[in-house]
Amino acid sequence: MRKSGSFLTSIALFQLAACGGGGSSSGGSPTPAPTATASTAPVTVYATPAQEALSVSDVQRIIAQAVGEAQARSQPAIIAVTDRVGNVLGVFRMTGARGKMLTSRLTAANTLSSPDVDLQGLTVEASMGAIAKAITGAYLSSGGNAFSTRTASMIVQQKFPPAPTTTGLESGPLFGVQLSQLPCSDLNTRFNAAGGAGSMVGPKRSPLGLSADAGGFPIYKNGVVVGGIGVMADGDYGYDPNVLDVDSSDEEFIALAGIQGFLPPDAITADKIPVDGTTLRFTDATGAGLHPLQTSFAAVNGSAGSVVAVNGYNAGTILAGVAYGTEASGYRKATSAEFAYSDAFVLTDGSGAGRYPIRGGTDIVAVGQPLSAAETRAVLEEAYRIMSRARAQIRRPLDAPAQVTISLVDTYGAVLGLVRAPDAPIFGTDVSLQKARTVAFMSNSVAGQQLTDDSDAEVPAFVQRTRTFFNDNAALTGKIAFGARSIGNISRPYFPDGEIAQANGPFSRPVTQFSPLATGLQAALVRTNILQHAQFVEGAALPASDTLNQCTNVPAAPTGQKRLANGIQIFSGGVPIYRGSTLVGAIGVSGDGIDQDDMISFLGAHYGGLRIGGIGNAPAAIRADTVVVSVGAGVRLRYVSCPFAPFLDTADQNVCAGL
């Protein structure tokens, strides 16, 4: 994952003194990290992924193999294949395949008291499920980890690991990530039926966000992740509430047949990666359970079904994928003018221009002195420096450096800069921006009023629930600085997280109404967008327009920018940025373990502020970890949680203490 010999050289440049202390407000003054200047140019830490892509014949073979397995199992299915950045390369609908599916149908043990909550219990076009599964496999994976939709199911539920006997455990580490890559996201790009220059630029949106329903895998070519496959056959777009048994899922076997010859390296599959002492799941299907492969597309095309068009995703043709890292993919290396680190990647428009060049804030009316371009650069570069030293949680081999996406926004939610490691998972692009916008919004003086003014039926009610929960009618008016972890605390179906005798947090649904698509405020904010998009995909809304290219119905900022234009996120990895006591923006990080994401954002804001002066993390007196909620003897919210032994170049501990 890094160039030979270069990482050890980087240690001298990236040395960071121990912070000392043991508590969140104790410890001595840490030594500032060295700044990046022309005389101390950053060295290369990361290798650039090889530029591999699926050909038309590759896509045809993958589809044929999946169709052959579906035929052998008498399970007519919809099969979708995408490239790494989410372009839908083909959708094959077998004769007799179900046209509709139900979102998040639950087992009898987890039956909802109401079948239609948030995005739970919707009947929608089944191709949406196949595409979402394929995008999930592609977006959650990288050269250092291969995750499936079964992996996703493990990490997004109300307890981890999910099983009937694992009561009293905290929610999954990526609880909420499923509601990212939304069809209304202003970051994720849209299918252009006209084609031409820029039409393959990603990351593309997903019709239902990320999926927790088995039947989605990443696709690898010559050891490089190049896409994903998704299969929908049974009409049940759900998740697995019990990891203690082994399922026999036809959809998973069909998808596994599809990726034969395109399997991920065995050393990086999810079942080689532990989180909090639990090894993740990759698949319950096995190669031994597959029927003889059908590799001829000509043998199934027309006789078993056909390639179909899906509104907003594919025009009914099979396409070749685009190679990640090329200008055409929307991801490429940053130029020296764009970013100081030569191995950094940025998003591009396909014609050479960066989509999110570093700039100053747009919110002078609200904050007086917005973030400058130099301040934005300092925070992003220091966060990138911390990332390059951090020990990865979800990557293999062991002791590889973390690879994440880092986003920075102002108080209006405008993107002031976005940068990433070259092989960071694609999902973190949108999620890092969600986290930054979420903490900037919830820490803002206008948060309560904006939610109250949301035109969706239930969203305003979450404001009073929150004020009742905190016993504070001034909650959500900017008096408290919320980290992404803090928002996660109050978005769980139990508060404190995992204590099953307790009620839900104010942003959450009660556990009796929980599903990965019924999370509370997070889902309620985008329900209207998803419903409108589902009608568009089905064709019921045509020729009416698709959902807007900005999520939620909160009022726009004075610039016309919606502060939550790609939805909110409810797991760790973001902090607000202040100038003195004035909120001026936020940083969000996503792509590795949640503690790593927390640390990179928190230390990035701290060292960026030290480097340039005038800005930094929220004053300690207003951080969410000063808030004690009256539950039992009292429960203190969390702000950030940094990992043990986080760095590859030092043995420092408590690196966030005292900052």
Which residues neighbour 527 within 8 Å (Cβ) at sequence distance 6 or greater? 118, 119, 456
- For residue 342, being part of any structural domain is answered with yes
Say how far apart CA 444 and CA 434 lie, in whole Å.
15
Instruction: Give the pLDDT score at 512.
Output: 85
Q: Euclidean distance between the first and final Cα of the chain, in Å?
A: 31
- For residue 628, being part of any structural domain is answered with no
Does 554 have pLDDT greater than 60? yes
Instruction: Give the pLDDT score at 12.
Output: 32
Range of the domain at 334: 6-27+40-45+330-425+574-620
- For residue 91, being part of any structural domain is answered with yes
Paired tokens of 505: 């947090």
Question: Is residue 421 packed enough to be buried (19+ CB in 10 Å), middle (13-18) or exposed (0-12)?
Answer: buried
Does 312 have pLDDT greater than 70? yes
- The count of C-alpha atoms lying within 13 angstroms of the C-alpha of 132, restricted to the half-sphere facing its C-beta, is 30
389 alpha carbon, distance to own chain's centre: 22
CB-CB contact of 238 with 73 (8 Å):
no
Which residues neighbour 151 within 8 Å (Cβ) at sequence distance 6 or greater? 140, 270, 280, 281, 282
**C-alpha separations of 80 from 129, 348, 633 in Å:** 9, 26, 51
Whether residues 304 and 360 share a domain: the answer is: no
Whether residues 97 and 206 share a domain: the answer is: yes
What residues form DSSP beta bridges with 354? 348
Paired tokens of 401: 């450096």
Total number of domains constituting the chain: 2
Whether residues 237 and 372 share a domain: the answer is: no
Instruction: Give the pLDDT score at 20.
Output: 27
Whether residues 170 and 214 share a domain: the answer is: yes
Whether residues 123 and 257 share a domain: the answer is: yes
3-state secondary structure 611-655: HHCCCEECCHHHEHHHCEECCCCCEECCCCCCCCCCECCCCCCCC
Say how far apart CA 439 and CA 75 lie, in whole Å.
45
- For residue 596, being part of any structural domain is answered with yes
Does 322 have pLDDT greater than 80? yes
Does 44 have pLDDT greater than 60? yes
Instruction: Give the pLDDT score at 43.
Output: 73
Which residues neighbour 472 within 8 Å (Cβ) at sequence distance 6 or greater? none
Instruction: Give the pLDDT score at 507.
Output: 98
The domain spanning residue 225 has which CATH number?
Answer: 3.30.450.150
Q: What is the pLDDT of the chain when averaged over all its residues?
A: 91
pLDDT digits (tens, 9 = 90+) for 77-123: 999 999 999 999 999 999 999 999 999 865 444 444 445 789 988 99
- For residue 454, being part of any structural domain is answered with no
**C-alpha separations of 345 from 150, 218, 340 in Å:** 29, 22, 11
pLDDT digits (tens, 9 = 90+) for 374-423: 999 999 999 999 999 999 999 999 999 999 999 999 999 999 999 999 99
Which residues neighbour 538 within 8 Å (Cβ) at sequence distance 6 or greater? 124, 125, 311
Q: Which of 111-120, 130-139, 197-206, 269-278 has the lowest mean pLDDT?
A: 111-120
In percent, the amount of the chain with pLDDT more than 70 equals: 91
Whether residues 167 and 271 share a domain: the answer is: yes
DSSP state for residue 456 in the 8-state scheme? S
- For residue 471, being part of any structural domain is answered with no
* Better-scored residue on pLDDT, 109 or 261: 261
Paired tokens of 321: 């994928």
Whether residues 305 and 339 share a domain: the answer is: no
Does 244 have pLDDT greater than 70? yes
- For residue 527, being part of any structural domain is answered with no
* Better-scored residue on pLDDT, 41 or 627: 627
Say how far apart CA 283 and CA 326 lie, in whole Å.
31
Say how far apart CA 394 and CA 48 lie, in whole Å.
18
Whether residues 287 and 359 share a domain: the answer is: no
Whether residues 121 and 146 share a domain: the answer is: yes
pLDDT-derived band at 541, boundaries 50, 70, 90: low
Whether residues 70 and 196 share a domain: the answer is: yes
Question: Is residue 397 packed enough to be buried (19+ CB in 10 Å), middle (13-18) or exposed (0-12)?
Answer: exposed
Does 547 have pLDDT greater than 90? yes
Instruction: Give the pLDDT score at 276.
Output: 86
pLDDT-derived band at 457, boundaries 50, 70, 90: confident
pLDDT digits (tens, 9 = 90+) for 215-231: 999 999 999 999 999 99
Final residue belonging to a domain, choices 587, 602, 620: 620
- Which among 355, 352, 337 is positioned nearest to 430, based on CA atoms? 355
191 alpha carbon, distance to own chain's centre: 20
Residue with tokens 């997903």: 206
Whether residues 223 and 344 share a domain: the answer is: no
Question: Is residue 5 packed enough to be buried (19+ CB in 10 Å), middle (13-18) or exposed (0-12)?
Answer: exposed
Whether residues 145 and 182 share a domain: the answer is: yes
Residue with tokens 């990640």: 324
Q: How much is the pTM?
A: 0.93
Kind and range of the H or E run holding 237 = strand 236-237
Amino acid (one-letter) located at 129: G
Instruction: Give the pLDDT score at 42.
Output: 67
Across 70-74, 163-167, 244-248, the highest mean pLDDT is recorded for 70-74
Does 2 have pLDDT greater than 80? no
Say how far apart CA 529 and CA 532 lie, in whole Å.
5
pLDDT-derived band at 18, boundaries 50, 70, 90: very low
* Better-scored residue on pLDDT, 578 or 115: 578
**C-alpha separations of 585 from 344, 354, 594 in Å:** 22, 21, 21
- For residue 51, being part of any structural domain is answered with no
Q: What's the average model confidence in pLDDT over 543-570?
A: 94
